Amino acid sequence: MAETPSVTIVPPSRELLEKIADTLRFVSADQVQKANSGHPGMPMGAAEIAAVLLTRLKIDFRDAKWINRDRFVLSAGHASALLYSMLCLQGFLTLDDLRDFRQLGSRTPGHPEMDATPGVDASTGPLGAGIGMATGMAAAERMLAETYNTPKFDVIDHFTYVLAGDGCLMEGVAYEAMSLAGHLGLGRLIVVYDSNRVSIDGGTDLTFGEDVGARAAAMGWRVWEVDGHNVEELGAALDQAREDLARPSLVIARTTIAKGCPNKAGKSSSHGAPIGIEELAAAKAGRGWPAEDFHIPAEVSDYFDVRRGEWLAMRQEWNQLFALYAKKHHALCRELQRILAGELPKQWKNAVAPFPIEKPLATRAAGNQVMNQLGAAIPELVGGSADLTPANLTEIKSGCNPDFINSGFFQGRNLHFGVREHAMGCFTNGLALHGGFIPYCATFLVFHDYMRPTLRLAALMRIRSIFVHTHDAFMVGEDGPTHQPVEQLASLRAIPRIQVWRPADANETIYAWQAALERKDGPTAICLSRQELPVLDRSSLAPARETLKGMYVLQPEGEEQAEILLIATGGDVPLALATAAALRERGRTTRVASAPCLEAFKLQAEGYRKKILPKRLRKRLVIEAGIVQGWEGILGDAGLFIGLDDFGHSGKPAELAEKLGFTVPAILAKIDSAGW
């Protein structure tokens, strides 16, 4: 390209790199020893890897969210002391931060957390998930580059690096993600595998004897095997990996856990507990290292003083490049700036038209129409399904950007994940973490179980990932109990910070998507029906915009005198309305509430919540095709729950409704037996 940045960084000499490695090794061990808690083995053994990576990263601590910075994900999050030592040399943290390692309220928690520590690109700890999230980050870089770079302006061209351990490469999610990354040819993804061959139980030969390199090569990765303590071999492998942009790279670095320790090197006892004051002192003496805690040699400090200036110069030169890009590509630049800021286009809500009441519609089908209308207005909305696109109905056909990568995976904005739910969730989180996209992914609600850890991480990181779950009830029918969710809604709601939406009809689905898109402080799960549902007639019911309140009085008729409150979610709302009608025929007064999102309801003002759930209305009947967990506070001590306490059956939906008690006569019988 014509506008090529000229700032280049020459790696330091072997002698200085080894001194940087020892600095990282012992400052990391000092953190663990001072806290008397943590994992010293990997930081001490992977110090050379960290040193070589650190001197090749493109970052600047003055702008931790610079979009074209290299991403670094510590997939083996238990080695957090090593990451914090790196961040200290980069300028993100101070030595005082390192002295507070694992202390309450510190910027150096036990595992890397985005909220707590500047410079951390992903919260990690569950092994293997970091590789999955990094795959999403690398794909985000490629998708943005393909869309917004021009022949003379490569404004997006960074790398994504991962440091992983033996445990990461044992977890299935890592191989799901690596298989996908190899298939996509994500050449700017580089994983360094710290292969110290030690696990908590003992040597990895107890459980792990496969040829990881051969497996990775079979998945389309370029593989190197190097001495992980030889900085020159490591550097050469990384430099070659950076030159091959057709394939992701795996650098297998053979290391010794707790390197330098006279009694604990190579032993599992060094993995998850301080090595001890005497052992640490002996390790330092063996390397000719000063005995003082948190020692940083002057030549290392001086080197990073210079390096931080070079990093600043790289970012400033990129800023100049971007300024020229803005002048020559006004519209493209404005759109890129908007999506990187996470702001939605103006008037985007006007893109969605309300649904007519004449024809019943499954909320999964309504969701597809909503997504396509939104897709035309919001180019950064991207996502896909775990090989269930025709069933989830999550394909975006309108507003597709033909400039996205032309391959089997990147079709406009539709991503094909294959049957890889866990990696799909991690990948989606990686897209959200990178910035520039509002990502969604989809599977059946019952298969949320395959990706629950990634939803939990999304909630922990407060990122805008959207999880679409269709086939949300036993109305799946003949597919049987393996495909019929029972406990999944409660399981989702049990995760803090996540909002779980189960819309009752097509128009509630519009507002569920609106809430998900407007939310910037956490993930959203949207649970949709397979079966057709009536589009509720809002001329006699509350307007659909009330959906955003999480729970609202749907049928206001006689509500001031109501003696029974019926609450339902999703496809069970029509049953609640039918039950209320039957009760009114008996001369009973009722109030019917739709509760599409309990979490959104809890955020409403206390006065509103009391209005919907007045104390006087103690006879509360909740209808939801799932377990009661999570509804106890709303039911109170006199309520009834119409739900499931066991798995379903294979059969026609109407037959299942009869057998499981989801009919008006069955509900009336329960009301009668309760003495209401």
Give the model's confidence band at 400: pLDDT under 50 very low, under 70 low, under 90 confident, else very high: low
Tell me how many degrees the CA angle 164-130-459 measures, rounded to the nearest 5.
155
* Structural domain total, the chain: 3
Same domain, 461 and 605: no
Say yes or no: 614 and 654 in one domain. Answer: yes
Residue 125 CA to residue 113 CA, distance in Å, equals 9
Tell me: do 101 and 218 sit in the same domain.
Answer: yes
Q: Which domain holds residue 664?
A: 550-673
Are 454 and 565 contained in the same domain? no
CA distances in angstroms from 213 to 47, 166, 495, 528, listed in the order given:
22, 13, 36, 41
Q: Are 118 and 64 in contact (CB under 8 A)?
A: yes
Closest CA to 49 of 164, 151, 140: 164
Render pLDDT for 434-457 as a digit per residue (tens, 0 to 9): 999 999 999 999 999 999 999 999
- Is 338 domain-assigned? no
Residue 4 has pLDDT above 90, yes or no: no
Whether residue 168 lies inside any domain: the answer is: yes
Asked if 485 and 401 sit in the same domain, the reply is yes
The model's pLDDT over 167-177, given as tens digits with 9 standing for 90+, comes to: 999 999 999 99
Query: Is residue 397 very low, low, confident or very high in pLDDT (cuts 50, 70, 90)?
Result: confident
**Mean pLDDT, rounded, of the chain:** 94
The bridge status of strand 620-623 relative to strand 564-568 is parallel
For residue 335, being part of any structural domain is answered with no
pTM of the predicted structure, to 2 decimals: 0.95
Domain boundary among 533, 568, 595: 533
What pLDDT, on the 0 to 100 scale, is given for residue 170?
A: 97
Residue 598, in any domain of the structure: yes
Looking at 503, 533, 563, the residue that finishes a domain is: 533
Decide: helix, strand or coil at residue 636: coil
CATH value at residue 565: 3.40.50.920
Angle formed by the axes of helices 172-184 and 421-434, to 10°? 70
Average pLDDT, integer, range 354-374: 96
For CA atoms 464, 469, 473, 475, give the dihedral sign: positive
> Looking at the domain assignment, is residue 130 inside a domain?
yes
Asked if 252 and 392 sit in the same domain, the reply is: no
Residues marked active site are found at: 421
Q: Nearest Cα to 563, choosing from 634, 618, 623?
A: 618
pLDDT exceeds cutoff 90 at 26: yes
Residue 6 lies in a domain: no
pLDDT of residue 237: 97
Region 459-463: mean pLDDT is 97
Q: Are residues 387 and 456 in the same domain?
A: yes
Same domain, 69 and 216: yes
Domain final position from 474, 501, 533: 533
Strand partners, 225: 252
87 lies in the same domain as 215? yes
**In this structure, is residue 30 part of a structural domain?**
yes
Res 557: pLDDT: 61
Report pLDDT digits (tens) over 265-285.
999 999 999 999 999 999 999
Tell me, yes or no, whether 154 and 103 share the same domain.
yes
> Same structural domain for residues 378 and 464?
yes
**Per the domain annotation, does 488 fall within a domain?**
yes
Instruction: Find the CATH number of the domain harbouring 493.
Output: 3.40.50.970
Contact 430, 137 (CB under 8 A): yes
Q: 352 with 459, same domain?
A: yes
